[in-house]
Amino acid sequence: GLADRLQSTLQRIRGKGKVTEADVKEMMREVRLALLEADVNFRVVKDFIKKVTERAVGQEVLKSLTPGQQVVKVVHDELTTLLGGEQSKLAVGTKPPTVIMMVGLQGAGKTTTTGKLANHLRKKLNRQPLLVAADIYRPAAIQQLETLGKQLSLPVFSMGDQVSPVEIATKALEKAKAEHYDYVIIDTAGRLHIDEVLMEELQQVKEIANPHEILLVVDSMTGQDAVNVAESFNEKLGVTGVVLTKLDGDTRGGAALSIKAVTNLPIKFAGMGEKMDALEPFHPDRMSSRILGMGDVLTLIEKAQTTVDEEKAKELQKKMRDMSFTFDDFLEQMGQVRNLGPLDQLLGMMPGAGKMKGLKNVSIDEKQISHVEAIIKSMTKLEREQPEIISASRKRRIANGSGRTVQEVNRLIKQFEDMKKMMKQMSGMMKGKKKGGFKF
């Protein structure tokens, strides 16, 4: 699938310390193929590749990322833009009820999504929705919604299949106003194909219901067809948002990637399964991460960027050069690492870390870190700055004060000295290295 292909392509470039223009070109060729194969609109693909290439070549280096990671970040950013950029939320009426009309082809998932959305509004936002059964054509469509309503303990308004959808919508709205419902969600009929008669009927429902949202429910398995469907519905009805369903299945992903770019309609929700809780507000950035299979690696990268303060890093570099690195600095560094979050969680966010063999043996022990902290905090100011004065009697005092053993104190001092040595070597290597953009 799309995700697999993009992931293996990006995997190759991610680890690179140096990225040449040829590397980018080759990667873009593969990204392009992967997108086309996923049935993404070819104009969208062309535009996407152009943007990513422009940004990936000759961009500024973020110090905390390798060039390979930067390219991945560019792909991620552009993919996020393609998917709509910011999250697009449901409109809310100035006074209740907020009216939502569900439209789409038969089998797209309108009725299921009506139930899911009502469930979401009640559970997550604590709002009272009224579900309206306005599909009078499909056999058992009314019953389907009533069953969902029972299952969710939510009211369903229905008048059987002998009354017009316009009349059903009118009566449902009267009831919702009188009984102070927060939302009215109208489940309408679909057809197998775009159909003039259906469109006219939907227009009439729209006219009397005056909906705040017309959500087009689209089956993501249908690829580029979904885009054509979206364009027709939008032209006839003025759609306000899209719900992409069946993203849990073996979808090629083309619909998700083309729909916003071609129709400029925001994707508001994603259906991730048949169950009533399988609806998620659509977050372009998360979707992009999911497609690229990056787990939360970008969150990790961003965290690293904001947590490790630039100024502090400079100061530390200077200390490394001057060899004035103290136990206090050591403590502060540890604090920064900790700010990134629990270490096992941090490892979980790294792609492939879960699959790594022997990771269990590498377990980073939070407890051990707090022991180190305790030991350093039992040192005097002078001891922290000049560890060489720590005599045997001082070691005993520090051990007692921190509740650790003398051996542990010894081990920490040894580690600290090793680290200083390592830093000396590193700062030697860094000397003469210029900062600035990476070009290729």
Using CB atoms, what's the residue nearest to Mg ion? 111
Q: Residue 147 interacts with ligand GDP (CB under 6 A)?
A: no
85-104: which residues touch ligand GDP (CB under 6 A)? Answer: 104
The token duo for 193 is 């194909």
Q: Residue 58 interacts with ligand GDP (CB under 6 A)?
A: no
Residues 6+ apart with CB under 8 A from 113: 102, 215, 217, 243, 245, 269, 271, 279
Query: What is the smallest separation between the CB atom of 105 and Mg ion, expressed in angstroms?
Result: 10
CA distances from 85 to 56, 256, 261, 282, 298 (A): 19, 13, 11, 11, 15
Query: What is the smallest separation between the CB atom of 181 and ligand GDP, expressed in angstroms?
Result: 22
Q: Residue 274 interacts with ligand GDP (CB under 6 A)?
A: yes
Residues 6+ apart with CB under 8 A from 52: 28, 31, 74, 75, 78
- Residue 105 is assigned to a ligand binding site: yes
Residue 271 contact among ligand GDP, Mg ion, none, beta carbon within 5 to 8 Å by kind: ligand GDP
Q: Residue 273 interacts with ligand GDP (CB under 6 A)?
A: yes
Query: Could you give the string, one character per residue 126-155, with x where binding to Mg ion holds by CB under 5 A and - elsewhere?
Result: ---------------x--------------
Query: What is the smallest separation between the CB atom of 367 and ligand GDP, expressed in angstroms?
Result: 43
How far apart CA 194 and CA 228 sit, in angstroms, is: 10
Closest C-alpha among 241, 286, 304, 248 to residue 267:
241
- Residue 191 is assigned to a ligand binding site: yes
For residues 128 and 177, the answer to whether their CB atoms sit within 8 Å is no
Query: What is the smallest separation between the CB atom of 211 and Mg ion, expressed in angstroms?
Result: 17
How far apart CA 354 and CA 365 sit, in angstroms, is: 17
59-118: which residues touch Mg ion (CB under 5 A)? Answer: 110-111
Query: Could you give the string, one character per residue 277-306, with x where binding to ligand GDP holds by CB under 6 A and - elsewhere?
Result: -x----------------------------
Q: Residue 188 interacts with Mg ion (CB under 5 A)?
A: no
Q: Residue 239 interacts with ligand GDP (CB under 6 A)?
A: no
Query: Could you give the string, one character per residue 178-207, with x where binding to ligand GDP holds by CB under 6 A and - elsewhere?
Result: ------------x-----------------
Please identify, among the stretches 83-91, 107-115, 193-201, 310-318, the one whose residues bind ligand GDP according to the rule CB under 6 A: 107-115
HEC letters along 228-274: HHHHHHHHHHCCCEEEEECCCCCCCCHHHHHHHHHHCCCEEEEECCC
For residues 114 and 142, the answer to whether their CB atoms sit within 8 Å is no
- Ramachandran angles phi, psi of 213, nearest 5°: -135, 135
* Residue list for the binding site: 104-111, 187-191, 245-248
Q: Which chain residues interact with ligand GDP by CB under 6 A?
A: 104, 106-112, 190, 217, 245-246, 248-249, 271-274, 278
